[in-house]
Amino acid sequence: MKKILVLLVTLVLLTGCVAIQDVSVDTIINETMGTKYTNLYNHVGKGYKYYLPKTLISKTTDNNNEIIKSKKCDYYLYVDLISYHNKVDFEYKESTGVYFSKLIEKDDKKGVINIYENADDKFLVKIEFNYAYIEVITDKDNLNKTLANALIIVTSMQYNDDVIETLLEEGILTSIDETVDIFDSKDKQNVLEVDDTYIEEDEATKYDNSWIK
């Protein structure tokens, strides 16, 4: 019975019968983390790569930080390459007194999602997963879509050990305590290219996040 219910939810979402803003946050998390796109990538940084949803554009401030833009909001991404290299075992906990908090797990990777409601009816989404950290402020109507995009980014994160080793030897990586304040780094942005050649052609053409409306 449980499998049948999950299948029905998936079919409803994929066929567009229910707008994304009308489903629960838990449904967004479960459906997004279960998609094949969390195992693909089309965007490459220095020492890492991930899948960038087609409606987003990535910009960078330095080796570890990126600003990812959509029409309605900006996503602030930090990739902790030093902690990944040192295999730091972070302990995550759910928060209390917030709009939403949940521990997440995929394969052998763990993390946490926290959503905070601000006084001006805006929502701050913060996700920590697999040494990647992403934050974004959005409104209620766009919350689920924003959450899905952010989850795809962090859960698809993959690392290149050889490149990270080289960056460490050159001394150009920063720890999480030394990161650039990306909220005040507009003068340092430069556009990164999104390279779709890393996805097989049939996979790229099949990608359709139309249920994220």
Task: Return the domain boundaries, the chain.
Answer: 20-206
**Can you give the pLDDT at residue 35?**
81
The whole-number mean pLDDT for each consecutive block of 10 residues of the chain, a chain of 213 residues, reads 41 51 87 85 93 91 88 94 93 94 93 93 95 95 94 96 92 59 40 37 40 43
| Residues 117-174 pLDDT 10s | 988 889 999 999 999 999 999 999 999 999 999 999 999 999 999 999 999 988 877 6
Are the C-beta atoms of residues 134 and 148 closer than 8 Å to each other?
no
Is the domain 20-206 a CATH 3.40.1000 member? Answer: yes
**Can you give the pLDDT at residue 211?**
40
User: Which has the closest alpha carbon to 33: 127, 140, 98?
Assistant: 127
Look up the pTM and report it: 0.75
